[in-house]
């Protein structure tokens, strides 16, 4: 599951593939790397900055 999440697969797809009814269950068995967490946070910050600069984007 972790490898699929880090490879960019949609979390809902991963949840379905492993047969979990709840995303929280999938989350319990997924442990992404520190690098992945950092990259995700940086992408979120970049999107936020873009939205602040151009609210119509």
HEC letters along the chain: CHHHHHCCCCHHHHHHHHCCCCHHHHHHCCCCCHHHHHHHHHHHHHHHHHHHHCCCC
Range of the domain at 38: 2-53
What tens digit of pLDDT does each residue of 11-50 get? Answer: 999 999 999 999 999 999 999 999 999 999 999 999 999 8
Structure token digits, residue 10: 């949609």
* Domains contained in the chain, number: 1
Record the pTM: 0.66
The confidence band for 57, taking pLDDT boundaries of 50, 70 and 90, is: low
Predicted confidence at residue 53, as pLDDT, reads 81
pLDDT on residue 56: 72
């Amino acid at each position: 599951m972790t490898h699929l999440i880090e490879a960019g697969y949609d979390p809902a797809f991963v949840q379905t593939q492993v047969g979990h009814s709840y995303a929280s269950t999938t989350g319990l068995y997924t442990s992404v790397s520190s690098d992945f967490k950092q990259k995700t946070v940086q992408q979120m910050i970049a999107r936020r900055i873009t939205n602040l600069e151009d609210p119509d984007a």
